[in-house]
A and B are shown apart, each in its own frame.
Chain A
Amino acid sequence: MLSDNPKLTRRKRRRMILACYSAAFLLATVAVYLLHFRHVSVFRLGGYFPLLLSFIIVLGGLRLGGPVRPFSRRIGAAAANQPLIQLRLGSRKHPPDETFLDERDIAIGDHVHCLAMSILRCATFLFVLALWASAVFHHPAWLPVVAGIGSFLLFVAAMSLPQGIILRAEPDPVPEPSAQIAGVPQ
């Protein structure tokens, strides 16, 4: 499921994921400070979302070019059928092995989405429970803060969790043995 990049080892991938989620939590903390202590409106923080989309794009999965190959077979098929002659206005031609998903890739992609949905289901259940409890307690003052931050973190998780699981769990590819024929002296 990973694109062919030998420099991106498992340790580097895990650090990348850690950095992305740390950044998201840092942004959420700043948002809590601005909302709760500076009384800034939730959607004054709308500039966060392009920032989030940028780091989601960096992870791949939804588009070509990231460390995770796109989950959708349509993206791969469209890239494989692109014309041979290109104007090369910024986009590079992706090799077929970067766009083609075999059975194992599809199975991994589906299973990762199943795992991500299970995690998000628990998180959403807790979030919904918190919303419901706060509504029962007559809409306390912290409800907009909790709702805004919860939506923010759920949005981050929903956009990046499958890619994050793959980047964290996929092992490093085993290097192929050197091409030597048995019995033939080098």
Chain B
Amino acid sequence: MKSPRKFLGFISIETRRRRRTLVIGYYALFLVIMVLQLLFSGPAKYDRLLPIAYLAAAMLGGLTVDGPVRVFTQWQRNMKDGSAYGIDPVRLRRFSSIPPRPSGSAYDERDIATRDRAHYLAYSTLRWAMIILVLGMMVNMDWPSARVAQILLFLSVPFAVVFFSLPQAILLWCEPDLDPDPEDPGTQSVFKAIP
């Protein structure tokens, strides 16, 4: 599922340690931004973080083509390479300055299983988080509507951050490092068994 590209074009995420650092840094950065926003600007401009949450999740990939995680759905890939519009992807690449990516092909069985498993884990986690959230809010049923709207708006930012990025984060966190390819057979030493 991992695409062999860089995050934001310059951060290399080839090793597992770097990918995990990226995931931790991503959530830590959002936590810091939320705290700073509340401290210095107050809740008035807090809602500006909502579109940023979606855009930042898109930078991780999965939702868009430009990210370290390959895009999740086939129709997005078809739109990207032009086959959704009846354009031959090979002809399109001929006019494009971007070299074709080796991982741009369709998913194989392992990719689909990994993607689906990541979504299952993310969904299960968010479902229980949502149940706890709703049950927690049910305890305080006497709140006025304005306060409820404020709390929903306040909680919507961390929820959006996690919801839009959790499958990508799971994939980045769990993807193992690839073993290096074996050497070229021409350079390998050959031992012949002499009878």
CA distance A113 to B117 in the complex (A): 8
Asked whether, in the complex, the Cβ of B50 is within 8 Å of the Cβ of A114, the reply is no
Segment of B8-16, B24-32, B92-100, B135-143 engaged in the interface with chain A: B135-143
For residue A137, give the distance in angstroms from its CB to the closest CB of chain B.
Answer: 11
CA distance A42 to B141 in the complex (A): 8
CA distance A113 to B167 in the complex (A): 11
Chain A residue at minimal CB-CB distance from B129: A158
B51 interface residue per 8 A CB criterion: yes
**Interface residues of chain A: helix, strand, loop or mixed (majority):** helix
Best-surrounded residue of A35, A116, A147 (most CB of chain B within 10 A):
A147
B59 interface residue per 8 A CB criterion: no
**Which chain A positions have C-beta within 8 A of B120?**
71, 109-110, 113-114
Contact of B148 among A49, A107, A136, A148 (CB under 8 A): A148
Segment of B83-91, B152-160, B180-188 engaged in the interface with chain A: B152-160
B73 interface residue per 8 A CB criterion: yes
- Knowing A107-B113, A113-B116, A114-B116 are in contact, say whether A128-B54 is a contact too (CB < 8 A): yes
Question: Which chain A residues in 125-161 approach chain B with CB under 8 Å?
Answer: 125, 128-129, 131-132, 135-136, 139, 143-144, 147-148, 151, 155, 158-159
Give the 6 A-B CB pairs with smallest separation, nearest first: A110-B116, A144-B145, A135-B47, A43-B141, A114-B119, A113-B120
The range of chain B's interface size is: 35 or more
A41 interface residue per 8 A CB criterion: yes
Asked whether, in the complex, the Cβ of B156 is within 8 Å of the Cβ of A49, the reply is no
CA distance A72 to B124 in the complex (A): 9
What are 23 residue pairs bridging A and B, where the CB atoms are less than 8 Å apart in the complex? Answer: A41-B142, A41-B145, A43-B148, A46-B138, A49-B138, A71-B124, A72-B124, A110-B113, A117-B119, A117-B123, A124-B160, A125-B54, A128-B53, A128-B160, A132-B48, A132-B51, A135-B47, A147-B149, A147-B153, A148-B145, A148-B148, A155-B134, A159-B131
**Which chain B positions have C-beta within 8 A of A42?**
143, 145, 148
Chain A residue at minimal CB-CB distance from B135: A49
For residue A53, give the distance in angstroms from its CB to the closest CB of chain B.
Answer: 8
B163 interface residue per 8 A CB criterion: yes
CA distance A128 to B50 in the complex (A): 7
